[in-house]
Amino acid sequence: MGKATRVTNTIRTLRFANGEMTQADLAKRIGVTRQTVIAIEQGRYSPSLEVAFQIARVFGVPLDDVFGYPDAHHQ
């Protein structure tokens, strides 16, 4: 399956760095389904700004530490 967004993320890494938080736990804390967390992690869904901030808040890091948007010239 191809990626639907250029937005990258470090959610998987952050989950493991935060006590191996499961996708289900993260989903519950930000009020979405586990499948949505999976889709975000895999780059198949670009979350809304609000959900992005919620994810960053769960991990206690700035938004930039969770999401990135690489320059097209460096792809």
Contact residues for other proteins, defined by CB under 8 A: 1-5, 24, 27, 31-36, 39, 43-48, 51
CA 70 to chain centroid, in Å, comes to: 15
Looking at the Cβ atoms of 17 and 22, the one nearer to other proteins is 22
Q: CB of residue 38 vs other proteins: minimum separation in angstroms?
A: 10
Q: Name every residue whose Cβ is closer than 8 Å to that of residue 44 and which is 6 or more positions away in sequence.
A: 1, 3, 4, 5
Q: Strand locations in 1-75, DSSP E?
A: 8-9, 67-68
Looking at the Cβ atoms of 4 and 63, the one nearer to other proteins is 4
User: CA torsion sign, 48 to 45 to 11 to 34?
Assistant: positive
Looking at the Cβ atoms of 32 and 66, the one nearer to other proteins is 32
Q: CB of residue 20 vs other proteins: minimum separation in angstroms?
A: 19
